[in-house]
Amino acid sequence: MLAIIGGTGLNEFSEGEVVGERHNHYGYTSAAIVQSEVAGRSVCFLARHGNPHTIAPHQVNYRANLWALKQLGVSQILAVNAVGGISPAMVAGALVSPDQLIDYTYGREHTLYDGSDDKLEHIDFSFPFAENLRGALSRAADSCALPLLDKAVYGVTQGPRLETAAEIDRMDRDGCDIVGMTAMPEAGLARELAMDYASLCLVVNPAAGRSDRLITMDDIHRVVDTGMVKVRALLTAALAELQ
């Protein structure tokens, strides 16, 4: 089964029935998980920040979310992330399927191997995003005539504040093309649970210092409102590609 994890601007995907329990031994999931039929296949949807959107990136219970999806039989995850653009090609409104990430977060519950069950595994995380899912996104973008940038490094910051211009300069030197707050520990936990994971990012603003204007939430919301129409179309087409 495939799951979609919705980020900022995608609090619901399609009508369906609530499945599973919100509470597990890692705590409560961000929202109820909704299962529906989309493009001829069964899909679970989970709103990362809750529905309505109230949970800050550093307060998301990523472990409970991923564990709950695993218990429902999910083996593939398409995650939607709103990000800022660092590299010149990453303009507001662009769709991006990153192939790498750098984790700058701290203090988050980032692993299932916390000593509570006397187990320890060191997962291979060389390539954090599943190529089969990224390929489906690329094919779906072609079928929808939607430009998709499929080579990018996602820098994951703590949030909820946006970054300083100096921090973005450092991330640029590190090789980051986009910046967001939610790909980690989500991607790492998916790998620990042996679930394929890929991110579909919508660039909603130039990163700090990458334009001559201040970043405003009004500007971000305008891009989110128009961009999520494209995201929904691309996700639906990708589901068909994964039949």
The CATH number of whichever domain residue 66 belongs to comes to 3.40.50.1580
Q: Which domain holds residue 191?
A: 2-241
Higher per-residue pLDDT: 44 or 216: 44
- Whole-angstrom Cα distance, residue 23 to residue 230? 33
Higher per-residue pLDDT: 12 or 176: 176
Global confidence as pTM: 0.94
Binding site listing: 8, 48-49, 181-182, 205-207
CB 238 within 8 A of CB 146: no
Residue 218 pLDDT grade (very low, low, confident, very high; cuts 50, 70, 90): confident
CB 80 within 8 A of CB 74: no
Residue 41 has pLDDT above 90, yes or no: no
Q: Check residue 22 and give its pLDDT.
A: 94
User: Among candidates 43, 75, 67, 70, which has minimal Cα distance to 196?
Assistant: 75
- Whole-angstrom Cα distance, residue 31 to residue 81? 17
The encoded tokens of residue 126 equal: 């060389």
Binding site listing for phosphate: 8, 48-49, 182
Binding site listing for substrate: 181, 205-207
The encoded tokens of residue 199 equal: 């991110």
- The domain tally of the chain equals 1
